[in-house]
Amino acid sequence: MGPVQQCPTYEIMRRDEAVDILAQVLRSVRLSGAVLFRGEFSSPWSLAAPDSRQAAPFLVPGAKSLIFFHVLTQGRCSVAVGEEDPFELSSGDVIALPYGDPHAMGNPLADNHTPLASVLAPPPWPKCPIVVHGGGGERTQLICGFLHCDEALFSPVSRNLPFNRAFKRYAGEPPASWRKTAKGGDLPAGR
């Protein structure tokens, strides 16, 4: 048995300090966003979302692209982005697509996807739309939305982001605002 090695020490940042730094960064890049719709799906279902450059002009006039995100609040689904292998998401997982790439989601993920535009009416919406789709089997609920940032500021940031980013489930219960939103309550106020 060799000598015991000393573990490296790390400076720990308090949560409120981290939130302060994040808030400053978000203010400086003028990030905005919105929830697009709530999805209530039942297997089998498989939807395809377009490249955000197609949706951006309808959602944020003057925008060239958007970061799509999806929060899985119940159930599970598979996600395919570009030519990457599909991967599984389950309740509590979040995926962000920093380049707004076209993608497909489903349970199970099929070879032929229903275009999102065929189940989601075009804006404007008087309130957050609820998309109900599928074959009546296992339930999956999603909150789908986007983030937008001024192009000049966003470009240097986006070049350093991974192709897509999945954040695995959080510990414990989802935040109360997510639970309320997933059940059809009021959406958190956007900025």
5-34: per-residue pLDDT in tens? 443 433 444 445 545 565 666 566 667 888
Q: In what order do the strands lie in the sheet with 114-115?
A: 87-90, 76-81, 103-107, 45-49, 114-115
pLDDT score, position 37: 94
Q: Are the C-beta atoms of 70 and 95 separated by less than 8 Å?
A: yes
pLDDT score, position 148: 85
Instruction: List the domain boundaries for the chain.
Output: 32-182
Determine the CATH number of domain 32-182.
Answer: 2.60.120.10
Percent with pLDDT over 90 in the chain:
34
Residue 134 CB neighbour total at 10 angstroms:
22
Q: Are the C-beta atoms of 46 and 109 separated by less than 8 Å?
A: yes
Confidence of residue 55 (pLDDT cuts 50, 70, 90): confident
Distance from C-alpha of 80 to C-alpha of 9, rounded to nearest angstrom: 39
Task: Indicate yes or no: pTM above 0.85.
Answer: no
pLDDT digits 0-9 by tens, 57-98? 888 888 888 888 999 999 999 999 887 888 899 998 888 888
